[in-house]
Structure 1
Amino acid sequence: MSDPASIASPAALQPAGAEPRKGSRAEAGAAPGVAEQTVRRRRVFYIPGYDPIPPRRYRELYRSESAAQAKISGYEITLSPKATRAGRYGWHVAATIGGASCSADVEVLLWSDIVRGSMGQSIPATYAQLLRTAWAYIGSGALFRLMRLRKGPMIAALYPIVLLILQAVLGAGLGWGVAALALWALPDFPGAGLLGLVLALAVLALVLERFRRWDHRLYAYYLMHDYAYSAQAGGANPPALEARMAEFADAIAHALTEDWDEVLVVGHSSGAHLGVSILADLLRADRVPAGATLGFLSLGQVVPMVSFLPKAQRLRADLRHLAAQDRIAWVDVTAPGDGCAFALCDPVAVTGVAPSDKRWPLVISAAFTQSLSPERWAELRWRFFRLHFQYLCAFDRPADYDYFQITAGPETLAARYAGRPASKSRIERAENRYTDYAL
């Protein structure tokens, strides 16, 4: 571990809304050369969202986008294989940024097997999921309160419901048409009514199966499984996920005992709320050693989709705990251009569990419309799922958010954003009906 006296601690970050330091990158509105190197060796743990894709996707994304960002921003970065333990996946990064050389070992904390298992549903089972999930959000009142925060993610949540219903209506309509045609052509056929019913059901099944095969373009089944997974227990984590989160906590705790200048946890999308709970568990168990430099970067978070559900007491307690501690720097990055995230919604405050001594997270915007050129923004504007991954990608007009400098650069997360004011347009009003939390 590095000498803690030489590293900017989480306390170096001022409270949300504080004025930036004179001459800081926050005041300049850009990311100038590194003022002081605080990291030479970093360990990064990346927690994906609800994603069944193998982890090599993230390596290739990091490889291609880091190269693009390095070319734009004028630094050097390369990837190479990294030896990992059985069942774990990662890569090594070497970078020279602002004249400072540093390295990072990145590991993906995998739960894609759990995701794939939850997606193995038949078509009828998926429609049953639709009914249960709709009731979970509508019956609890969460849907209407979430809409008061941001309409974008709620449109994304309603999208699979509406599209699956339309698919069923279309299939039923075509089936009825075929059945009616058969009955018209064979008016005297014995058992014509039964034949019509069989034909109608067969056409319905064929139409639904065809749409399911097109889901790699439509994402209706994928999103339905995603929201159903969060809602299946009213916001409580399924046992298999809790067990996996305990394994993740062990891996992070082990890294904190090793000689790294910073251990950084990155949670993207629904991986953000997993990160909140994992880190809260480490703090409660006193597994964050004195002098350890631990940062948490949440990207494109959808925390309210879970924390607003009635049985999410565990997550609400974890949010409250992480908000007041002074051991982990927590920076939350979203962007209004990302329609799948609760952009600039302080996940602790809007959930209604902010303690009186709240100090985290620092909520900032990736400002897609400013950090992407008009030409690039025009290319991506209507690619909603691609934009949800923009936090992990290159910006052709970068400001102070640079994923690759954060994960492989020479400053800790706390040092990089020390004095950085929170976004003035952040949303902090409590909208949640359920504010009880597990003690």
Structure 2
Amino acid sequence: MLRGRDADRDAQAANREAPAGRVARRLFVHIGGFDPEPPERVYRRFARETGRFRRAWSVLTVMTEPEHRPDGADWTVETTGRNWRVTTRVRLFRWDDLLDAYAAAPWWKRMGRGMLACLDFVAGGALHRYLRTAWRYALFFLYPPLTVLAFAVAAGFGGAALGRATDSALAGVLLGAAVFGALLYGPGRWFKLPLAFDDWTFASAYVRVPPQVLADRLDRLAADLVAATRDGEFDEIVVLGHSLGAVLAIDAIDRALALAPDLGRTGPPVGLVTVGSSVLKIALHGRAVRFRAALARVSVADGPFWVEYQALSDVMNFYKTDPVGDAGLVPSGRPLVRVVRISRMLDPAYYRRIWGRFFRLHCQFVRGNDRRTAYDYFMLACGPLAVRETACLPDGPASAFATDGSLIERAPANAAADVAGSEMMLAR
């Protein structure tokens, strides 16, 4: 435990003399994926998961209540370690309310629109490219339509059997239709098929052009990011996008670069973090011309530092891929790709309990860890090292802290050398 005033004095002194790569005040923008959770639930989850963060890293945290805005919510986290302190302003980018229109539609309509959206991705060449680039993701893509097909086959066999038994084709058709509807409404809901289809319906629309309401919010976020780099309040600005939120994060950074081409080169450093990323989900669609152009611009911008974390056990991300080169763009050396293991983030017993729950594993990228590893969401949000410094360490934040939670003093990372070392590590 920290010793009250002594810990405060030590942390303040450490921050006054903070070397390059150290952060005392951070703006942390969280952009979640296609998950209809309102800000209140996201805040409660964040507060709950800080318990794991405190236990794993031997730190103290104090959070304010959220301040709600039309575009999201803000709250502040004070994090104190043995010889450091960080004040983080968390800004939640909201788009769960835009998903309500999808969820409000009848389930049969959601299924129908989703099947059409999946066909659009097949016609746009995305499925072929998924199979070539990340076959696990191709299986994730095929899961909703193949499940519906399996329901249809089961209902067809049931209806055909009744038709033969009763010598009534009408009875067979009626039973088949009833069984198919019951499977969609029952097991289909348990398997989260409506949400999965809504996800693909939204993605199909986003490939062409984002909804205007979402585009307006991204414009406002971009303007806020630019303003934050100029007002001197923060030592670092981090934008983290999870799942489909990674696509929105790139879109927001691209819009900010259009407003301020020197973003990240003047003022505080800007970090872009994509985790459990769906960047290639969109970029591999043949019609995603607008997004690929934004992706290309962000990848060559020399201001923001971009790191992407990928994991094998997360079937909803693109494992061991280059989000830029594999999108058919000229490889730029960005982002820095770090492959991490979710199994190492959690206690073995808990990991065994959630193994096979693909959505829960996918969401570990934005949860607290039980163990110190190369990736830690809360260390990126609340830790004293800048994103570039953390990402370039061979073992991430696990390389930088002593058992008691104190930051181990070291020379500022040689970014080029550490990045090269990390890439070599991933290749082994």
Shorter-chain TM-score category? 0.7 to 0.9
- Establish whether residue 228 from structure 1 lines up as the match of residue 204 from structure 2: no
- Alpha-carbon separation, structure 1, partners of 2:21 and 2:301: 25
Query: In the alignment, is the contact (CA less than 8 A) between 1:372 and 1:398 conserved in 2?
Result: no
Letter in 2 for 1:361: P
Q: CA deviation at 1:341?
A: 0.5
Letter in 1 for 2:336: L
1:424 to 1:167, Cα distance in 2 relative to 1, 3 A:
farther
- Alpha-carbon separation, structure 2, partners of 1:126 and 1:222: 8
Work out the percentage of aligned pairs sharing the same amino acid. Answer: 24
Letter in 1 for 2:48: S
1:292 to 1:128, Cα distance in 2 relative to 1, 3 A:
same
Letter in 2 for 1:342: F
1:115 paired residue number: 99
Matches for 1:388-427 after TM superposition, within 5 Å: 388-416=362-390, 417=392, 418=413, 419=415, 420-421=418-419, 422-424=422-424
Q: Secondary structure in 1 aligned to 2:87? A: strand
1:62 paired residue number: 46
Q: CA deviation at 1:175?
A: 4.6
- Alpha-carbon separation, structure 1, partners of 2:105 and 2:374: 43
Q: CA deviation at 1:276?
A: 0.7
Identify which range, 408-417 or 172-181, moves more after superposition.
172-181
- Alpha-carbon separation, structure 2, partners of 1:108 and 1:226: 20
Q: CA deviation at 1:253?
A: 2.9
1:245 to 1:179, Cα distance in 2 relative to 1, 3 A:
farther
1:210 paired residue number: 186
**What is the aligned counterpart of 1:90 among 59, 74, 91?**
74
Long gaps (5+) in structure 2: 1-17, 393-412
Q: CA deviation at 1:233?
A: 6.1
Q: Secondary structure in 1 aligned to 2:272? A: strand
Identify which range, 115-124 or 136-145, moves more after superposition.
115-124
- Alpha-carbon separation, structure 1, partners of 2:173 and 2:352: 49
Long gaps (5+) in structure 1: 1-33, 185-191, 428-439
Identify which range, 160-169 or 46-55, moves more after superposition.
160-169
Query: In the alignment, is the contact (CA less than 8 A) between 2:111 and 2:194 conserved in 1?
Result: no
Query: In the alignment, is the contact (CA less than 8 A) between 1:36 and 1:411 conserved in 2?
Result: no
**What is the aligned counterpart of 1:284 among 238, 253, 258?**
258
- Establish whether residue 136 from structure 1 lines up as the match of residue 109 from structure 2: no
Q: CA deviation at 1:162?
A: 1.1
Matches for 1:25-424 after TM superposition, within 5 Å: 38-176=22-160, 183=166, 201-212=177-188, 215=189, 217-232=190-205, 234-258=207-231, 259-286=233-260, 288=263, 290-354=266-330, 358-416=332-390, 417=392, 418=413, 419=415, 420-421=418-419, 422-424=422-424
Write the deviation string for residues 336-358 of structure 1: whole angstroms up to 9, x where unpaired.
Answer: 12111002312111112135xx2
- Alpha-carbon separation, structure 2, partners of 1:158 and 1:372: 29
- Alpha-carbon separation, structure 1, partners of 2:279 and 2:185: 32
- Alpha-carbon separation, structure 2, partners of 1:193 and 1:334: 52
Write the deviation string for residues 181-206 of structure 1: whole angstroms up to 9, x where unpaired.
Answer: 6x56xxxxxxx876765565445434
Identify which range, 264-273 or 49-58, moves more after superposition.
49-58
Kindly report the root-mean-square deviation, in angstroms, between the aligned alpha carbons of the 2 structures: 2.7
Query: In the alignment, is the contact (CA less than 8 A) between 1:373 and 1:396 conserved in 2?
Result: yes
1:40 to 1:379, Cα distance in 2 relative to 1, 3 A:
same
Q: Secondary structure in 1 aligned to 2:238? A: strand
1:196 to 1:339, Cα distance in 2 relative to 1, 3 A:
closer
Q: Secondary structure in 2 aligned to 1:354? A: coil
Write the deviation string for residues 159-218 of structure 1: whole angstroms up to 9, x where unpaired.
Answer: 11111222233344445555666x56xxxxxxx876765565445434433345xx2x31
Q: Secondary structure in 1 aligned to 2:51? A: helix
Identify which range, 367-376 or 171-180, moves more after superposition.
171-180
- Alpha-carbon separation, structure 1, partners of 2:335 and 2:291: 15
1:234 to 1:107, Cα distance in 2 relative to 1, 3 A:
closer
- Alpha-carbon separation, structure 1, partners of 2:239 and 2:47: 19
Number of aligned residue pairs: give it: 381
Query: In the alignment, is the contact (CA less than 8 A) between 1:175 and 1:204 conserved in 2?
Result: no
1:252 to 1:118, Cα distance in 2 relative to 1, 3 A:
farther
Q: Secondary structure in 2 aligned to 1:81? A: coil
1:30 paired residue number: none
Q: Which protein is richer in helix relative to its size?
A: 2
Alignment TM-score, normalising by the size of structure 1: 0.78
1:426 to 1:124, Cα distance in 2 relative to 1, 3 A:
farther
Write the deviation string for residues 92-119 of structure 1: whole angstroms up to 9, x where unpaired.
Answer: 2110134211111112111112222234
